[in-house]
Homo-oligomer: A and B are copies of this chain.
Amino acid sequence: MTVTIKDVAKRANVAPSTVSRVIADSPRISEKTKKKVREAMKELGYHPNFIARSLANKSTQVIGLVMPSSADKAFQNPFFPEVIRGISKAVHDRQYALQLSTGETEAEIYDGVVHMVQGKRVDGVILLYSRANDKIMAYLQKEDVPFVVIGKPHKKAEEITHVDNDNVRAAREATEYLIELGHERIAFVGGNVNLIVTMDRLRGYEKALKSAGLAYRKDYIVHEEFLKEGGQEAMKELLSLAEPPTALVVADDLMALGVLNTLAEMGLSVPGDVSIVSFNNVLLSEISRPPLTSVDINIFQLGFEAARNLIQQIENPNEPIKRIIIPHTLVKRFSCDYYKAPSQ
């Protein structure tokens, strides 16, 4: 039925092993036979069987991708298509394939990962998120599976290859930008508290306040997820304080969109009444109203480097642990303005 290496071998009057070598483009085969074999392959319409190769090789040329729980609204974040685009790019040239984790709940996803790892379906794994006490990460580490995480591991970051932004600095700079504009009452609107990226950005925000000599107020820190039902409450509370903030540092663009709309509903204008700076600089930030000032974290690059380094790690077992920091830049649009003292 399917044409195999043997058929090609017969057709070209050589041994199967020779055909195999031609496929691998071994330098120890004469150009003449190579040509002969290649012709036979063409004529028969031969295509190597990856599965058989994998079995013999103990290498699948497949990389597993682990997304956060799809039950989570975070799944809808445009961050993911974009990292995947980067990963896909890096992976395509080197002939690797991508396999996606499946399942809705955390438990299901965990099982899925165990399955694809134990079943030897993948050579390595990329974790597309990083949060505190992640079972999957612990598992991968225990099993000594090649993997890289996008984001900073919660613990033992120096033992795990990861690709990240300097989120502390990014957040500090974003906050400093607002300070430069004259704002003194700046609030922080974070996402899921378990995500390391949230923690880091919060720390950067803190640092900026501190070095500017501004007070760090607990009531200025909000961690609701604005995309959830009723998530607007915390936002409303924040702006009903006796001394409401005049500027917000928002965890990411999708959340910023939610914030933008809550503000509009409350009759507050951006950047007129409140300035906003957010993160990620996805498509959304351009087409929002007003277009968002956002920290571009080079999502594509995050994915690209993660994949590139994972492949290196797979192909070279004693590749050292690495920490790769992708640069960021503040993209100024129209969601920030100078602080204006309220006209009494």
Contacts and interface: CB of A to CB of B under 8 A. Distances in A.
* Interface range, A side: 35 or more
Contacts of A116: 97
22 contacts: A2-B120, A48-B119, A50-B120, A51-B60, A51-B121, A65-B100, A75-B85, A81-B81, A88-B100, A88-B102, A89-B102, A89-B104, A91-B102, A92-B102, A92-B104, A95-B115, A97-B99, A97-B116, A98-B102, A261-B287, A264-B289, A265-B289
B102 A99 contact: no
A257 B287 CA distance: 7
A80 interface: yes
Contacts of A51: 51, 54-55, 60, 119-121
Contact of A99 (B49, B99, B265): B99
B282 A258 contact: no
Interface string A83-122: 0110011011001111110111000100010011011110
Contacts of A265: 289
B88 A118 contact: no
A99 to B, nearest CB: 5
A84 B112 contact: no
